[in-house]
Structure 1
Amino acid sequence: MMSMNDIDEVFNKLGFGKMQYIILLACLIIQMWVSNEQLGFAVVIAGASCELDIANHRVVWLVSGNFGSQMISCYLWGEISDQYGRRKVLVLAGLTANFLSLLSACMPEFWSFWAFRTLAGFFISGNVVCIMTYLSEFTKVSLRPKVQNIMSYAIGLSLIYVPSLAGVLLPLKMKPIRGWRILLICNQIPGIIGLLLMVLLPESPKYYLSVGNQEKAMKVMEQVCRMNRGKGVTLESLGVDSLTQPRLRDSLMNTDRCHDTKTLMTKHLKFICIFFYIFFTLSGMGFSLPTWMLRIRVLANQVEEQKSVCNLIKDDLPQVLECELGYDKMIAPITHGFVVLGIFILTSILLIRLKRRVVIIIYILIAIAGCVSLNFTNHSDLILLGFFAIIDPPLCSLRLASSLLIDLVPTHLRGKAFALISMMGRAGVLVINLYVGLTLSKICYVTFNLLILLLIGKQFLLLKFTFYTKEISIVCGILVLILPSEYKVRSLIMQK
């Protein structure tokens, strides 16, 4: 009689071996490209500001177009990945986004550039939705937070890679191809390499099980077995003749396309709502503020007098930003990259002794401290450090929260779940980006004084977005405490 083997138990037998290392490498390279497109793009905008006449309101248009299209398309890619597989979405959406980004580097004026960046964002979200799900489904449960955090080292590497190249390319005075265009093309190189490597890798065996394809799931696991344990070892020799996993679909024949979403929003409503708020907050802070940090940093270097952020913006933001960005202007972004990489490495160390929830709460407290520091800091380096504290811990917290979501949600719902919370994350980027762009240079002091009277009552400098992120960070920390502990997560996974 054929016995059913839990796929996670089989992964425990096979260990974290050669196959997982290759998959981790491919995902890390793809993540580096995605970060080039989302975070490193701030450097491209700074380099293109003069040629394409990118003023502050146009920065809002660029960021809103890119992340708005991501928000719109997230659910579509989640649906497709649950129906047709994670790997197909990664490869097809990724290569299309690569092509559109390369075309955007050739656009002669702002609006055509904006259009292609918006289209590229539509397809980039396919990789945002699927990359962590794909990696997690080849990794045993106990290692997921650590492995996904290691993959996130790519964010720090991207934040070093882009400004390092920019320091060399942006000062070049070439016609007709400007340095920022070459930089945008170079940003696509990791994506091309990672996606070509992904073509050679198998589809997720857990996806195959979720759609009832036992034969293909066994074939993939045989491939993992040979790669990890040697050619002489087979699943049969390990006593594995069939596979299953907890919490499969109630009916593989269900044709209602909204059935899985209804299941997700009923059986997992409490957790999904908490993740909505967490991702809205942390994504908004982590992805929208780097663009403004770089612009404020460039502006601060043009002003000899030491001023607080709000005074600097009020007095000097209407001036034209510097067009010649040399390597000296890229020192701060490169430093930022090393800080992000260092925090992710620190996270790996902390996860040896601490639970995910504890690490997330610690990082949220650091972000709150960074928000408070911007109320009164007037030294340019301390302002930069304050921005680092606001941006980087939320980025790291996002990865840990993502791994927790993947553990909580069944395989056949993961694509949609990650798509929905990614939509909320992109909504957070849009809201905070629009908020900063519309208020930063016009009503900074009006906003500041109103917040002082209504919320704080203290007489010191405070940006509205700084206080806002501090308040939502506090609420976000409280919501993290509501999430289940590691023990409860494991119990939920085993429920059938």
Structure 2
Amino acid sequence: MELDEALNSIGFGCGQVLVLVFSSFANLLAVNESFGMSIIVVASSCDLGTTSAQKSLMMTSLMVGMTLSGFYVGYLIDVKGRVRILRWMLLVTIVLSVASALMPEVYALSATRFLVGVFLCGPATCLLGYMTEFSAPHARPRLVVVFSLGVGLSLIYCPLVAKLFLPKQYCAAVDGAYGQPSWRYLMMLYTLPGVIGLLGLCCLPESPYYLMSVKRKEDAYEVLRWLCRRNRKNIDELHIELADFPRETIVAKANYFKLVWDDSIRLVKPPYCRDFMVCTLLSFGMFLISLGLGMWYPLLRSQDNSQHRLLCDVLSKPKNFDQAKNVTAATELPDFTDPIYYGIAYICFYFLALLLLVCMSRKHVFVCYVSIAALCGLALNFIKEPLAILICFTMMMILPGVMITLVSAVLVDCMPTQLRAKALSLNRALSRLGAIFGCLLVGLMLKVSCVATLNIFVAYLMFCIFLCFLLPK
């Protein structure tokens, strides 16, 4: 039988749960490393004496490392094996992250964060593919939603730990010097889920799909036996005999650049071109909306809209924007209440997606989420009630953000095993350009025309509705 049929016969049980749990912990590290830096750059500003440019460097160095290493990491995972490369990358990521917390000055810290990004790219991009390759295709959409809860949990974990661990006055002086820089210990705490995930991955087997793709059928059969034992089934009673895995190319000893070129060109040629391009354009839009609009969120939350103005009136002509701020306020950390609520909202919409997947197809869930986000964007052109503006603005950001991992799951189902990690890595690298484009769009056009800027995002959301109908089942 085919491997999909064999996994369907084994069913869902404790084996898949173990893979899901430990993969989710490792994924939590990937989100913590990205989101946690937004807190660290503020908390470390007095200790390191950072300027605005240096804070930007600290924030972007991780993303640059992930973008530059993305496709090569995908190549390694497709050629050398899923779990083997993920274990080493998680280990090196954790070691480098702890080392970055001990760096004495900002440029050394930024350089170390760049290296963290180089190795973090694997867990951040390809854990999803590894996790889904232990389950039958019909169970994957709901598994991906549960796996994606790590994003919402991280949005709660990072500010909550900071709220409990960091002093409120992060520039408070003790005997003429700054107090113990607790932000360094906070960076180490952010790696804790990754340690749990690494220990778990050391006990998990290789992906059966990868083993079949490199003609290691006996090893793949042992992985199925491992799943049966955890699921309390006898593999002999299931009468599983695996059919040969269809593959055009096997891992060959050839020039690296030729191998990468051959596989890359296959992603943009039939039969994979259409699905890859649709998923990439959709992911680009999700990053564009969720992160591009994210630049506006702090500005919106800091404004007083008691006069019931339109969103663009609030953002284009912010009240008290030119007045000097209280100098002492700059030494106080925010209370982190908003990010915690933001994370709770993410989790709620993930659970809603999980419920919707029970009664409708994945494609229709995507259409529903993108359509609601587009309607919220259109409504922002007309509504003036402050609470309604906040709700629509937040939903317009969160709903596309929820879809990022779900779109990657579609790509997992579309791509053959030998191209899967490369497709995921290239898709995520191109999608991150959407976040960069969104940030530039806001920075360059907001003062010129807020209405035009807002409706560019809305127009792309409407384009994404059309793309959702093109997704495979």
| Band of TM-score, shorter chain | 0.7 to 0.9
Distance 2:409 2:446 in 1: 37
Per the alignment, residue 212 of structure 2 pairs with: 209
- Cα deviation digits, residues 437-494 of structure 1 (max 9, x gap): x43xxx633243xxxxxxxxxxxxx372x3332221111221121222x2xxxxxxxx
Residues 236 and 316 of structure 1: is their aligned pair in 2 closer, same or farther, counting only changes over 3 Å? farther
**What's the C-alpha RMSD, in Å, of the aligned pairs?**
2.9
Moved more, 265-274 or 280-289: 280-289
Asked if residue 404 in structure 1 is aligned to residue 410 in structure 2, the reply is yes
In the TM superposition, residue 272 of structure 1 has moved relative to its aligned partner by 1.5
Per the alignment, residue 455 of structure 1 pairs with: none
Per the alignment, residue 265 of structure 1 pairs with: 268
Which of 334, 359, 362 is the matching residue for 2:365? 359
In the TM superposition, residue 188 of structure 1 has moved relative to its aligned partner by 0.9
Residues 218 and 67 of structure 1: is their aligned pair in 2 closer, same or farther, counting only changes over 3 Å? same
Per the alignment, residue 140 of structure 1 pairs with: 136
Report percent identity of matched pairs.
27
Which of 455, 464, 469 is the matching residue for 1:467? 455
Per the alignment, residue 330 of structure 2 pairs with: 323
Give TM-score scaled by structure 2 length: 0.87
* Unaligned 5+ runs, structure 2: 173-177
Asked if residue 121 in structure 1 is aligned to residue 117 in structure 2, the reply is yes
- The 8 Å contact of residues 282 and 397 in structure 1, kept in 2 or not, is answered as yes
Distance 2:152 2:121 in 1: 20
Summarize the alignment of residues 48-197 of structure 1 with structure 2, pairs less than 5 Å apart. 48-49=44-45, 51-52=47-48, 57-58=53-54, 60-172=56-168, 175-197=178-200
Which of 437, 446, 449 is the matching residue for 2:448? 446
In the TM superposition, residue 418 of structure 1 has moved relative to its aligned partner by 0.6
Summarize the alignment of residues 453-492 of structure 1 with structure 2, pairs less than 5 Å apart. 462=451, 464=453, 466-484=454-472, 486=473
- Cα deviation digits, residues 346-384 of structure 1 (max 9, x gap): 000010112112111222223224434555667775554
- Cα deviation digits, residues 67-99 of structure 1 (max 9, x gap): 222121110111000001111222111221222
Asked if residue 338 in structure 1 is aligned to residue 340 in structure 2, the reply is no
Per the alignment, residue 248 of structure 1 pairs with: 247
In the TM superposition, residue 218 of structure 1 has moved relative to its aligned partner by 1.4
Distance 1:380 1:49 in 2: 33
In the TM superposition, residue 170 of structure 1 has moved relative to its aligned partner by 3.0
- The 8 Å contact of residues 14 and 229 in structure 1, kept in 2 or not, is answered as no
Q: How many residues align?
A: 456
Distance 1:325 1:285 in 2: 30
Per the alignment, residue 239 of structure 1 pairs with: 239
Give TM-score scaled by structure 1 length: 0.83
Q: Secondary structure at the match of 2:426?
A: helix
Which of 262, 279, 284 is the matching residue for 1:280? 284
Distance 2:18 2:49 in 1: 43
Q: Secondary structure at the match of 2:206?
A: coil
* Unaligned 5+ runs, structure 1: 449-461, 487-496
Residues 408 and 205 of structure 1: is their aligned pair in 2 closer, same or farther, counting only changes over 3 Å? same
Distance 2:369 2:390 in 1: 17
- Cα deviation digits, residues 111-167 of structure 1 (max 9, x gap): 333222222112111112211100110010001000011111111111111111122
Residues 418 and 290 of structure 1: is their aligned pair in 2 closer, same or farther, counting only changes over 3 Å? same
- Cα deviation digits, residues 43-68 of structure 1 (max 9, x gap): 33343455555666555444433222
Residues 183 and 379 of structure 1: is their aligned pair in 2 closer, same or farther, counting only changes over 3 Å? farther
- The 8 Å contact of residues 160 and 340 in structure 2, kept in 1 or not, is answered as yes
In the TM superposition, residue 15 of structure 1 has moved relative to its aligned partner by 0.8
Q: Secondary structure at the match of 2:102?
A: coil
- The 8 Å contact of residues 214 and 250 in structure 2, kept in 1 or not, is answered as no
